[in-house]
Amino acid sequence: MGTRAAAQGVTWLITPGSEPGRYPAALTCGPDVALLDLEDSVPAELKQQARTAALDFLIDTTLQTTTQTTVETTVEMPVLGLRINAPGTVCGLRDLLALTDTAARPAVLLIPKVEAARDVDLVADVLGTDRPALWALIESPQAISRLPGILSARALAGVVFGAADYAAAARCRRTDRALLYPRAALAAAAAAAGLPAVDSPYFDLADPGGLRREAQQARDLGFTGKGAVHPKQLPSIQTAFQPSADELDHARAVVRAADTTAGISTDSSGQMVGPPLVAAARALLQQAETTRTPPGAT
């Protein structure tokens, strides 16, 4: 039986809760986290139907990641997650009440529209000690301005950036340049708090080059993963977050130089090697050992 910590998931596949026919595929197409969505992707008239379908699926499916072995292949199952509606709405309250009234327990619960620590604390208090890992969806200028307080929430396990809602609230375009500040601020604040941060999905399925560029930018900024709205996006995201062969070679050279000398030295290419660079190189090599490649990634 194989497991992966939810905090280490690079690829988060978001599946609309109103489309239960897509649930099984989300488990087998290779994401690290398979997130069923009850919020933005579900029309108001289908909220109850989606809630029932998602919770029934969570009950029927193992809540721990497992390895399923068949005659032909071994498939490592993803972490199962659920995005509820905002706790301050009627739909969000119904989501929380439904969770308390059933045996459904996703491994990850994504809380949208978070703008204060109390939004996370409320969910934690309602669900009690037997609760999923709580992640906050940061998707407004107010949330970005209040990051230190939000990240102090006692039960918070990680954060996710919501580009579409942020751009609408900030009245800005959803471009690399317009969203650079909130993305960088969130990634830096999460790192300071010792929490993982997952970047927003890239919504244009017809622009794979844009996806690759944005995923690389997310990694450069310090995000630990990125959302996806379609399985075909997973390989590009995984590849962007994997260290390249050149990066791994350089990291090994830095570690070798550090292991054979004391204090600051130089590696085989003549670059200075000090403690921060050595720590980064060791972290990169460790990441490469634990990163999983989904089907189709190169």
Report whether pLDDT(12) > 80.
Answer: yes
Torsion of CA 102, 78, 7, 225, to 10 degrees: -130
CA dist 178 and 20 (Å) reads 35
- State CA 293 to chain mean position distance: 16
Share of the chain above pLDDT 90, in %: 70
What's the CATH code, domain 6-241? 3.20.20.60
| DSSP assignment of 54-121 | HHHHHHHS-SS--EEE-SS-EEEPPEEEEE---TTSHHHHHHHHHHHHSS---SEEEE-S--SHHHHH
pTM listed for this prediction = 0.83
> Half-sphere exposure (CA, 13 Å, Cβ side) for 35?
33
Q: Which residue has the tokens 């919501």?
A: 162
Q: Check residue 288 and give its pLDDT.
A: 61
Question: Domain extents for the chain?
Answer: 6-241, 246-285
Condensed to tens digits (0 to 9), the pLDDT of residues 163-208 reads 999 999 999 999 999 999 999 999 999 999 999 999 999 999 999 9
Condensed to tens digits (0 to 9), the pLDDT of residues 45-85 reads 999 999 999 999 999 985 444 434 444 445 578 999 999 99
Length of the chain: 298
* Token pair recorded at residue 181: 């500040």
CB distance 81 to 14 below 8 Å: no
- For residue 202, count other CB atoms closer than 10 A to its CB: 25
- For residue 271, count other CB atoms closer than 10 A to its CB: 12
Q: Determine the 3-state secondary structure of 53 from DSSP.
A: helix
Name the H helices within the chain.
23-28, 47-60, 90-101, 117-127, 141-145, 147-150, 163-170, 176-193, 208-221, 234-241, 245-260, 275-290
CB distance 56 to 12 below 8 Å: no
Q: Check residue 76 and give its pLDDT.
A: 77
Report whether pLDDT(32) > 50.
Answer: yes
Beta-carbon contacts of 95 under 8 Å, excluding residues fewer than 6 positions away, are 38, 51, 84, 85
Condensed to tens digits (0 to 9), the pLDDT of residues 277-298 reads 666 556 566 656 655 555 444 4
56: burial class by Cβ within 10 Å (0-12, 13-18, 19+)?
Answer: middle
CA dist 244 and 116 (Å) reads 38
Q: Check residue 72 and give its pLDDT.
A: 46
